[in-house]
Chain A
Amino acid sequence: MTDRLPGFSTLAVHAGAQPDPTTGARATPIYQTTSFVFNDADHAASLFGLQAFGNIYTRIGNPTNAVLEERVAALEGGTAALAVASGHAAQVVVLQQLLKPGDEIIAARKLYGGSINQFTHAFKAFGWNVAWADPDEIESFERAVTPHTKAIFIESIANPAGSITDIEAIAAVARKAGVPLIVDNTLASPYLIKPIDHGADIVVHSLTKFLGGHGNSLGGIIVDAGTFDWSKDNKYPMLSEPRPEYHGIRIQETFGNFAFAIACRVLGLRDLGPALSPFNAFMILTGIETLPLRMQKHCDNAKAVAEFLSTHPAVSAVNYAGLPGDRYNALQRKYAPKGAGAVFTFSLKGGYDAGVNLVSNLQLFSHLANVGDTRSLVIHPASTTHSQLDDAAKVKSGAAPEVVRLSIGIEDKEDLIADLDQALRA
């Protein structure tokens, strides 16, 4: 058969998963095992020395997880991927390959609140410094570059208000600075945006959100675009220098355009330990098979709900990039023409009390701290996730007292609109 390039939906179902060679099982088996037997002593030595491809121990790799890895790599257009226990674990493992104490990362100010915490507190304790920049002002990234900068980190569709980032403009800053661009593509998923096509060198995900999609399994993944030259200027010794734990192997020289994914596996996951359970990998793989269908429905529903809210008498403002008047609408049409995602915020004329009332009056929307579920979700940040901040800090982080965040599910849009309408009127 001649080569042809399959479409996104075909990859979502097939990439990485061939029938099991031993049993013929068509669905991907759950290899619920900690370890794998070696053929002989030399095979074992070859595996430990990275000379052979194969399985040793599930903290380093597992056949079920490998199917998930190859599938997400294929969907993102990357050379390889590494699945880990959560999106947060993905971020630690990525930065461990790139930063030494005293090094810096430039991060977009608009990030998932959990990432802001992780960067500000946990990473600071590792001696990894963060310089914050404003994704709405590209020059702020350029100004933040110093000789210690080792990476730039952004979200494609950014928390909490679903704003769209100009990935190509920030990729140009990263190229000029000679550092990789890391894009958290969780809220877009590769169905809406493929950051590697716009200049990303590394893509990370919380698989827990739209990729898994059903709110039942935590997971994270790192995708290597295979685009960055780690050995140039010797800025990334984990990849370019001989590794003492592997008898002097140089990772990039040995693994070429998937060296970063290998470094994350054999230096990061192996030593830090945040392995993904094969059961979770199976659940997430099953979710990914319907990603194109779900994501389109999420976006279509979100647009209908945003349009409804924008004309509602109790609502003062809606931030949804898919609405024609939105400040991110032009970027949305460029980067995510199929839809603006399903996470956005809106503001209530009635302020804090109206936010609390809305959340308690909703009957179909679930009040919880997650996004990207089949079910529609709601949170009032000022009374929950951001309640410890003073009012000024709440406003600055996009969690002003009158702001409500929605993650729109795949129910019938009429029912979602009716639920919001009755709750706003109650």
Chain B
Amino acid sequence: MNHDAYDDNYIRSILNNVKTIAMVGASPVNVRPSYFAFKYLAQRGYDMIPVNPGHVGKTLMGKAFVASLADIDRPIDMIDIFRNSSHIMPVVEEALKLSPLPKVIWMQLGARDDAAAEKAEAAGLKVVMNRCPKIEYGRLSSEISWMGVNSRTLSSKRAPIPTQGMRLSLNRTSFGGGQTAASDRAAKNKTETT
């Protein structure tokens, strides 16, 4: 798997197939990026579970915080890790002890650990690094285009009208739509120097 550039269909199939997402490092503070992403994904119908040992006893959008992945009472499809690159490996190791195994390890924007990714992939999991599922959902549904963001998709097909609350379809046929190579290069240089 090339973790520098993901095919849109790879991301689309993950976001279309996962239902339960545990967010490690979720924050109950409503201006934190993890809160934004948690709320956005919950509103699009994902079964969200906030994981953060510092907030056990509190809830996030009505969902109770748990201290660790092992404390979750149901199978998890995806683990979205809102932690720095240096804290990824222990989360992946904990994830690989779960039964049944999760299907996807997702590391947030700015987070990348290639060794942890290799370990997860060796166990048959799909891995996404240095991306935000909120941004990717918004990009592939083209909702993010409302903010003038380059969604890098083109389509001559009418997008399906949302049928389930605010969930816009990801199933619009699309064509890769231009690159942001300079930004990708800058991000790569930054991760290599830090």
Binding site for B on A (CB under 8 A): 1-6, 10-11, 14-16, 18-22, 24, 39, 43, 46, 49-55, 61, 63, 65-67, 69-70, 73-75, 77-83, 196-197, 225-229, 242, 246-249, 253-254, 256-258, 261-262, 265
A15: chain B residues within 8 A (beta carbon): 150, 154, 177-178
Q: With a CB–CB cut-off of 8 A, which chain B residues contact A50?
A: 36
Query: Closest CB of chain A to B69's CB: distance in Å?
Result: 25
Given A2-B9, A61-B146, A70-B148, answer yes or no on A257-B179 (Cβ-Cβ < 8 Å): no
Residues of B within 8 A of A242 (CB): 31
B182 touches A226 (CB 8 A): yes
The residue from A10, A11, A22, A247 contacting B30, defined by CB atoms under 8 A apart: A247
6 contacts between A and B (CB under 8 A): A15-B178, A19-B155, A51-B36, A54-B143, A226-B180, A261-B148
Known: A53-B138, A70-B148, A227-B182. 11 other contacts (CB 8 A): A2-B176, A4-B176, A6-B175, A10-B154, A15-B177, A19-B158, A24-B158, A66-B146, A75-B178, A225-B183, A225-B186
Residues of A within 8 A of B9 (CB): 1-3
Task: Give Cα A67–Cα B145 distance, bound, in whole angstroms.
Answer: 7
In the complex, what's the smallest C-beta–C-beta distance from A146 to chain B, in angstroms? 25
Pairwise interchain contact A256-B158, C-beta atoms closer than 8 A? no
Q: Provide the residues of chain A in CB contact with B7, threshold 8 Å.
A: 2-3
Chain A CB within 8 A of B17 CB: no
- What class of interface size applies to chain B in its complex with A? 35 or more
B181 interface residue per 8 A CB criterion: yes
List A contacts of B143 (CB < 8 A).
Answer: 53-54
Is B31 touching A78 in the complex (CB atoms < 8 A)?
no
With A54-B146, A261-B148: A5-B179 Cβ-Cβ less than 8 Å: yes
**B183 and A257 form a contact (CB under 8 A):** yes
Task: Give Cα distance in the complex from A32 to B116, angstroms.
Answer: 50
Find chain A residues with CB under 8 A from B150 CB.
Answer: 15, 70, 73-74, 78-81, 258
Q: Give the shortest distance, in Å, between A189 (CB) and chain B (any CB).
A: 16
B160 adjacent to A3 (CB under 8 Å): no
* Residue from the list A19, A70, A227 in contact with B186, Cβ < 8 A: A227
Closest CB pairs A-B (n = 8): A226-B183, A69-B148, A3-B176, A74-B178, A227-B186, A73-B150, A80-B149, A19-B158
Question: Which residues of B, 10-68, contact A by the 8 Å Cβ criterion?
Answer: 30-31, 33, 35-36, 39-40, 43
A3-B7, A74-B152, A256-B109 are contacts. A66–B145 as well, Cβ < 8 Å?
yes
Give chain B nearest CB distance to A5 CB in angstroms: 6
- Answer whether residue B166 sits at the interface, using C-beta atoms and an 8 A cutoff: yes
Closest to A69 in B: B148
A246 pairs with B182, CB closer than 8 A:
no
The answer to whether B178 and A66 touch across the interface, beta carbons within 8 angstroms, is no
Q: Which residue of B lies closest to A55 (CB)?
A: B146
- Residues A73 and B149 in contact, CB atoms below 8 Å apart: yes
With a CB–CB cut-off of 8 A, which chain A residues contact B39? 46, 51
Does B77 touch A at the CB level, under 8 Å? no
Q: Which residues of A contact B135 (CB under 8 A)?
A: 256
Asked whether B157 lies within 8 Å of A19 as measured between CB atoms, the reply is: yes
Closest B residue to A18 by beta carbon equals: B155
Verify A11–B146 contact, CB threshold 8 A. Answer: no
Q: Does B161 contact A (CB under 8 A)?
A: yes
What residues of chain A lie closer than 8 Å to B154, measured between beta carbons?
6, 10-11, 14-15, 18
Q: How far is the CA of A21 from the CA of B181 in the complex (A)?
A: 30
Smallest CB gap from B6: residue in A: A3
| CA–CA, A417 and B13, complex, Å | 59
What residues on B are CB-neighbors of A2 within 8 Å? 7, 9, 176
Chain A residues positioned under 8 Å from B138 (CB to CB) = 53
- Which residues of chain A come closer than 8 Å to B179, judged between CB atoms? 5, 77
Partner of A77, one of B30, B35, B182: B182
Let me know if B164 is at the binding interface, CB within 8 A. no
Q: How far is the CB of B63 from chain A (nearest CB, A)?
A: 16
- Judged by a CB distance under 8 angstroms, whether B115 is at the interface is no
B122 at the interface (CB under 8 A from A): no
A270 CB to nearest chain B CB (Å): 13
Q: Take A18-B156, A254-B36 as given contacts and tell me if A49 and B30 are in contact as well, using a CB distance cutoff of 8 Å.
A: yes
| Smallest beta-carbon distance A389→chain B, Å | 39
> In the complex the two chains form, is A5's CB within 8 Å of B178's CB?
yes
Residues of A within 8 A of B149 (CB): 70, 73, 79-80, 258, 261
Tell me which of B146, B161, B166, B186 contacts A226 (CB under 8 A): B186
Write out the residue numbers on chain A whose beta carbons fall within 8 Å of the beta carbon of B176: 2-6
State in angstroms the CA–CA spacing of A16 and B187 once bound together: 24
Are the CB atoms of A4 and B175 closer together than 8 Å? yes
Q: Could you tell me the distance between the alpha carbons of A79 and B158 in the complex, rounded to whole angstroms?
A: 24
A24 to B160 alpha-carbon distance, docked (Å): 10
Q: Is B84 an interface residue (CB 8 A)?
A: no
